[in-house]
Amino acid sequence: MALDQKKTLLLIGAGTLLACGALGYLTYSAKEQIELCTREIEGESKKVTDARTKIAKIRGLEDDVIVLRQNVEEYVKILPDERMVTEFLDSLSNTAAETGIRVKGYNPNPGGAGKGAFEPVSYQLRVEGTLWQLMSFLNRVESRRRFMIVPRISIKPGKGAPGGDIEDVVHEAQLLVQTYRYNPRKGSSEATRIQNEDRRVQELQERIALNRKDIIPPTPYAFTGARNRRDPFIDPRIPVDTEQPFAARGIDEQRSIFEGIHAKLTEVEAAYERRLEATAMIERLDLHHRISSGIAEVDKMIHDAEAENVFTYLPLRSKFNREVKLFEDLKLRFDKLKGEGELDFTLTMKELKVLLDHMQKLLQSGDLDAVIERNTKVKDRLAATAKDPKRRPYVTEIQRLASKAVVAKEFRAKTLDVSGVAIMPTGAAAIINGQAVAEGELLEDDLVVHLIKQDSIEFIYKNVVIVKKR
């Protein structure tokens, strides 16, 4: 009996232990399952949050797409289409002629077409020209409205003749000229549809316009030539085995003469530029005279320098040759301006009236030098204008005023000391330079005492009445 009870208790204990173990296992498994479900819920919640964040960004991204779509045509305007690339190639010959270079050939660069919306278009050019011609050619490419670049250039320096002009040496160059052709159908899938796009375009007009301001505008640069720079591809030194003419002047003296020519030419060029902008007739007449006389002066300076072979120092001679070219260009521009009627050699009726009125005011103010100077500047033009009977009276009056100013200036230089005046019923007398003279008497050659007053005396000098205050 006791043995059976022990067995029973043992079985009950074992069963209880087994039940507790099973219950513990089930509890632990349930806990893991709960934790796994919790993590899955948190993950899905994060996905929902991320999705909501992305959805919130869609509106802004759609706005960006709309703005870019509206401005894409403006952006690609700097890129040439097929027709414009062809036109560019066709214009190379004209550009070469304008700049003076010679195009020896140009071929498509075998770079291959791009797969995207922007396809590179490249051409290999072989040209010959001086450094300044090559730079002018590059400037034409740089200044085009459409986007063009020269990503690669190689120059083979030329060799000048001994003692020749080192700035006119012809170089050989190979250039790679590149642009891009825009093909909107390549490199992109079917355009994304945006709901209510037309309405939203209207809502975004202000932003579209603001974004369009960011488009880079073309910034053309006008190449003005060498402008006293030297060609770095050429050695400016004089070879020891090259015979040079005897230098009658030292380098410092040659440099001084060159600087004088350069300064005068710069002055005339500045006067020419001001003449283009001048609107006042008197200023235009002054500038015309200054340009004409300046050109004559520079022409003489250049002629004397060439006749005396002043510039034997090679670098200065090259600079001098460039100055001569600039001077010839200035003369051509000035002659062209005159040929277009901008600087007609004769004076119009309006110009004559303005000049006459101006000289009368100067004479009344006593500015005799200004009157004489005005007449000197237009002397030759007045002579040509006087051939017209309708304008001749104005020319005559202007010349009369100028002559009167010359006489008055001569009179002003005379020493006339009036020490006393006597006004009597029978007449008036004055003591001038210690000499007693009456009205109508000759004081000296061409100088007559005309009228004596208490505060002034009128003289007649070379048929001009001049009043001298006491």
Of the candidate CATH numbers 3.40.1160.10, 1.10.8.60, 3.40.50.620, 3.30.70.60, the domain formed by 82-184 belongs to 3.30.70.60
**Is the separation of the CB atoms in 139 and 225 below 8 Å?**
no
Nearby residues of 460 by Cβ (< 8 Å), 6 or more positions away: 447, 448, 450, 466
pLDDT value, residue 75? 61
For residue 2, pLDDT over 70 is answered with no
Write the pLDDT tens digit of every residue in 234-248. Answer: 766 655 444 445 445
Domain ranges of the chain: 2-76, 82-184, 251-339, 349-412, 418-469
- How deeply is 150 buried, as exposed, middle or buried, from its count of CB atoms within 10 A (0-12, 13-18, 19+)? middle
Residue 422: φ, ψ to 5°: -125, 120
**Is the separation of the CB atoms in 443 and 460 below 8 Å?**
no
Instruction: Give the residue, 419 or 204, on which the prediction is more confident.
Output: 419
Task: Give the integer Cα–Cα distance in Å for 144 and 122.
Answer: 16
Which of 17-21, 74-78, 329-333 has the lowest average pLDDT? 74-78
Nearby residues of 141 by Cβ (< 8 Å), 6 or more positions away: 148, 150, 177
pLDDT value, residue 82? 55
pLDDT value, residue 441? 82
pLDDT value, residue 240? 47
pLDDT value, residue 406? 87
C-alpha distances in Å from residue 149, one per residue of 109, 115, 138, 141, 216: 14, 20, 9, 7, 15
For residue 395, pLDDT over 80 is answered with yes
For residue 190, pLDDT over 70 is answered with no
Average pLDDT over residues 168-197: 71
Average pLDDT over residues 334-358: 71
C-alpha distances in Å from residue 275, one per residue of 229, 268, 282, 328, 381: 27, 10, 11, 18, 17
For the chain, the maximum distance between any two Cα atoms, rounded to a whole number of angstroms, is: 194
For residue 343, pLDDT over 50 is answered with no
Q: List, in sequence order, the alpha helices (H) in 117-176.
A: 131-142
Which of 21-25, 34-38, 105-109, 172-176 has the lowest average pLDDT? 21-25
**Confidence tier at 149 by pLDDT (50, 70, 90):** confident
Nearby residues of 231 by Cβ (< 8 Å), 6 or more positions away: 130, 131, 132, 166, 167, 169
Write the pLDDT tens digit of every residue in 283-293. Answer: 777 788 788 88
**Confidence tier at 219 by pLDDT (50, 70, 90):** low
Task: Give the integer Cα–Cα distance in Å for 299 and 120.
Answer: 51
Task: Give the integer Cα–Cα distance in Å for 315 and 317.
Answer: 5
pLDDT value, residue 78? 56
Which of 26-35, 255-264, 385-394 has the lowest average pLDDT? 26-35
Of all residues in the chain, the percent with pLDDT exceeding 90 is 1
Write the pLDDT tens digit of every residue in 296-324. Answer: 899 999 888 888 888 877 677 778 887 88
C-alpha distances in Å from residue 227, one per residue of 167, 223, 224, 261, 296: 12, 10, 7, 14, 22
**Confidence tier at 202 by pLDDT (50, 70, 90):** confident
For residue 342, pLDDT over 50 is answered with no
For residue 169, pLDDT over 70 is answered with yes
Residue 71 is which amino acid? N
**Confidence tier at 41 by pLDDT (50, 70, 90):** confident
Instruction: Give the residue, 361 or 93, on which the prediction is more confident.
Output: 361
